[in-house]
A and B are shown apart, each in its own frame.
Chain A
Amino acid sequence: MLTDFNFRVILEYMPLFLEGLKHTVFIAIIALVLALITGIIACACRISRFKILRYPVITYIEIIRSTPLLVQIYFFYFGLPTLGVSVPEIQTGIIALMLNSGAYIAEIIRAGIKSVDQGQIEAGLSSGLNYVQRMRFIILPQAFGVTIPPLLGQAIVLVKDTALLSLISVAELTRSGQTLTSERFMPTEAFLTVAFFYMCIYFGLKTLADWSQKKLIFREAY
């Protein structure tokens, strides 16, 4: 099955793979930071008292959650030029990933805030803290511990999602596998190597997520 697995080709194409890996990590980090910002803003609007902030954000989250990421990527990739905006594919991809992950992160943070016991909020109220103080001193510190593990889970999903950008010809990891396949026709070598690199990132993040689960969940439990 793997008897004629050609390591020499992999070595020859290693610079291409490493370049792709670099792009994947770079895109994932930028998209994650932007998505965190989007998510925090969206969550703040989502739990706000004002309908004018809440309803648009609910619509945004529901639209993102019920359509595939690939359709969202194509929507921006084919849609932005018709609006007269032409940006490079990589930026189109990052915008799509940011909006997609942002919606999920908003829900994760909201779940974290909701997980704080109602009695805590009442205790804060009766201590005479106002809304901002309650958020800052009581709710957010406790929500933080619950939020980190699922956020790392979302980071794993985000790294895997960057693979879809290969379909709009961004030169990331999966794309380098496609390049090797089309130049030498060696799909086995190409895609197993690509899979190997993704697995490395996955295990790194998974270990971090499991560790934080053990470390941080206890903090809100005492």
Chain B
Amino acid sequence: MMAFYLSRLVEIFPFFLKGLWMTTKIAFISLIICTLIGFVLGVIRASNNVWLKRIVGVYVAFARGTPFVVQIFIVFFVFPEWGIQLEAFPAALLAMAIMGSAFVCEIVAGGINSIPKGQWEASASSGLTKIQQLRLVIIPQSMKVIIPPLVGQYVLLIKDTSVVSVIGVTELTRVGWITVVRIPEGLMVFALVGVLYFSISYPLILLSNYLERRMTV
């Protein structure tokens, strides 16, 4: 029986590759969005503007304090009630962007805050504007602190894309879920799903370990 299921599984393997492609697509697009929004929010969070800081703080607390499943349900079921109706795929991207950017924001803010105040003062007295200070002096130095945890966060975000299967995006986990109904070998099917996730996240884990060793002084 096992051999029979195994041959069935080989037969529908292209379906798994499709799921893997979808997972990669979601992960890639949302990582870019998260990084962009996260950097902007992080700069705000490390700034001196009390009100903006508080608003970002509330946003970050919501995104970090509630489970990602609940956030997806809110985006997919609650947003339509407020007039924002989204298909499953864009809803998944939006939920990923909301959650991921909050985590990136905290990492970026931590990095910027780790730079001594003297650097700000020195660059200000060299006549640089606020934006120039950030772009030319502060951000380049804080990159050393930001990048290792950022890559680690990327791994977590890639794994979190599995949760978007609950709203019916046909990515890797969803493919496994559909398959297990037809091929009732749960261990085999989800071991295969696991191996495919491993193939994308393990290289990043190795990269993050490497960066951690390289960049910590």
Interface residues of A (CB under 8 A from B): 1, 62-63, 65-72, 74-75, 77-83, 160-164, 166-167, 174, 177-178, 181, 187-188, 191-192, 194-195, 198-199, 202-203, 206
User: Quick check: B62 and A199 within 8 Å, CB to CB?
Assistant: yes
Contact of B81 among A63, A162, A187 (CB under 8 A): A187
User: Quick check: A198 and B65 within 8 Å, CB to CB?
Assistant: yes
Q: Mark B67-94, 1 if CB is under 8 A from A, else 0.
A: 1111101100110011000000000000
Give CA–CA (A143, B190) in the complex, Å.
37
Give CA–CA (A200, B191) in the complex, Å.
36
| Given contacts A70-B173, A81-B186, A174 and B194 within 8 Å (CB-CB) | no
Considering the complex, give the chain B residue whose CB is closest to the CB of A159. Answer: B67
Considering the complex, give the chain B residue whose CB is closest to the CB of A197. Answer: B66
Give CA–CA (A192, B193) in the complex, Å.
32
Instruction: Check if B95 is an interface residue, CB within 8 A of chain A.
Output: no
Residues of B within 8 A of A72 (CB): 194
Interchain residue pairs with CB less than 8 A apart (12): A62-B205, A65-B155, A67-B197, A75-B187, A75-B190, A78-B180, A78-B184, A174-B69, A187-B81, A191-B78, A195-B74, A206-B65
User: Quick check: B162 and A198 within 8 Å, CB to CB?
Assistant: no
| Given contacts A161-B67, A199-B61, A199-B66, A70 and B74 within 8 Å (CB-CB) | no
Interface residues of B (CB under 8 A from A): 61-62, 64-71, 73-74, 77-78, 81-82, 155, 159-163, 165-166, 173, 176-177, 180, 184-187, 189-191, 193-194, 197-198, 201-202, 205
Considering the complex, give the chain B residue whose CB is closest to the CB of A69. Answer: B159
Give CA–CA (A195, B205) in the complex, Å.
31
Residues of A within 8 A of B189 (CB): 78
User: Quick check: B70 and A194 within 8 Å, CB to CB?
Assistant: yes
User: Quick check: A199 and B65 within 8 Å, CB to CB?
Assistant: yes
| Given contacts A67-B201, A192-B74, A82 and B185 within 8 Å (CB-CB) | yes
Give CA–CA (A194, B74) in the complex, Å.
10
User: Quick check: B191 and A66 within 8 Å, CB to CB?
Assistant: no
User: Quick check: A202 and B61 within 8 Å, CB to CB?
Assistant: yes
